[in-house]
Amino acid sequence: MTLLRRPDPYPLLWRLPLLLWQGAFFVIPLLFMAAMSFWLVRNYRMEPAFVFDNWARMLGRGAFWDAYWITLWRAALAGVIATLVAFPASLVLAFRLSEPARRFALLCLVVPFFTSFLVRAYAWQVILAESGPVNAALGGIGLGPYSMLNSGFGAMVGYLTLVLPLVVIFQTWSLAAIDKSLIEAAGNLGAAPARVLWSVILPAARTGLVLGALFAFIMTFGDFVSPFYLGGSKPPTLTILIIDTTKSGQQWPRAAVVALTMIATLFAVATAALKAAYGRRG
């Protein structure tokens, strides 16, 4: 009987939509992009080939590596700054607010994630402008005006606006899951607050802290709006490089090289971070 059992179509039908759609429109486009990085461009047209010209040309260019290091550096910096800035707020959310207040605050933090980052970046452009509200307020107490836009500072304001909500959510989620009696026990045994924080809270909240920093890194690494509209695209980041290379001169294969090095970098960072988040304690 069981030898010739006809496969039941019911489970298969529920499994297929994802496989078909993400296969055809996520996996294949990425594979095609990888293949395209070995193609040739002649007279503004792509021709299938298997040559390493695009790789050699992009990776042999000093400007590419400048963009690579500035992107990597800013992403790492944003991960560290966001983690440090978010942590005190997450402590308050996890340990000082009532359950309904915490839930409401977290719901509010989800909202920016679904609102246009572009419009928010434009608002920062206006707020931080040389004649904008912040400089007007600072001028009122005799400071400035400061030039905040088109700089690393401007880009960082954008990055933090983008990533802080998610970092706070990750941190609060793992802090709130800590068994409160552990903290009380440490206090009763005479540990100073700093010691409780270092030896009890930080190790217990490791997963959320690392994941928050990882997502801050990923989002900053792939962001194009902050460096372009608030950072003045000088120096260009990898995302700006991809857009310039794609939009001008049809050099898609070279843009694909940049995209693939980004994917490789993200993969390496994510693997290391996940090991740090879930791996055994060293």
Q: What is the DSSP letter of 4?
A: G
If we measure between CA atoms, which residue out of 48, 75, 59, 84 comes closest to residue 155? 75
Rounded to the nearest whole angstrom, what is the least distance from the CB of residue 282 to another protein in the complex? 26
If we measure between CA atoms, which residue out of 241, 236, 238 comes closest to residue 263? 238
If we measure between CA atoms, which residue out of 129, 135, 153 comes closest to residue 81? 153
Read off the tokens for 122.
């434009």
Rounded to the nearest whole angstrom, what is the least distance from the CB of residue 120 to another protein in the complex? 4
Cα dist from 161 to 58, 152, 213, 221, 256, whole Å = 32, 14, 14, 14, 28
- Closer residue to another protein in complex, CB, 1/111: 111
Rounded to the nearest whole angstrom, what is the least distance from the CB of residue 52 to another protein in the complex? 19
Rounded to the nearest whole angstrom, what is the least distance from the CB of residue 11 to another protein in the complex? 5
- Closer residue to another protein in complex, CB, 77/129: 129
- Closer residue to another protein in complex, CB, 36/78: 36
- Closer residue to another protein in complex, CB, 277/281: 277
| SS3 state of residue 46 | strand
8 Å CB contact between 176 and 222: no
Read off the tokens for 49.
């080939």
| Measured torsion, CA atoms of residues 100, 105, 106, 107, in degrees rounded to the nearest 10 | 90
Length in residues, the chain: 282
- Closer residue to another protein in complex, CB, 12/56: 12
Rounded to the nearest whole angstrom, what is the least distance from the CB of residue 206 to another protein in the complex? 19
Rounded to the nearest whole angstrom, what is the least distance from the CB of residue 150 to another protein in the complex? 13
Rounded to the nearest whole angstrom, what is the least distance from the CB of residue 267 to another protein in the complex? 10
- Closer residue to another protein in complex, CB, 48/282: 48
Q: Which long-range contacts (CB under 8 A, 24 or more apart) does 234-238 make?
A: 234/150, 235/66, 235/67, 235/70, 236/63, 236/67, 237/67, 237/70, 237/71, 237/74, 238/67, 238/68, 238/71, 238/262
- Closer residue to another protein in complex, CB, 207/246: 246
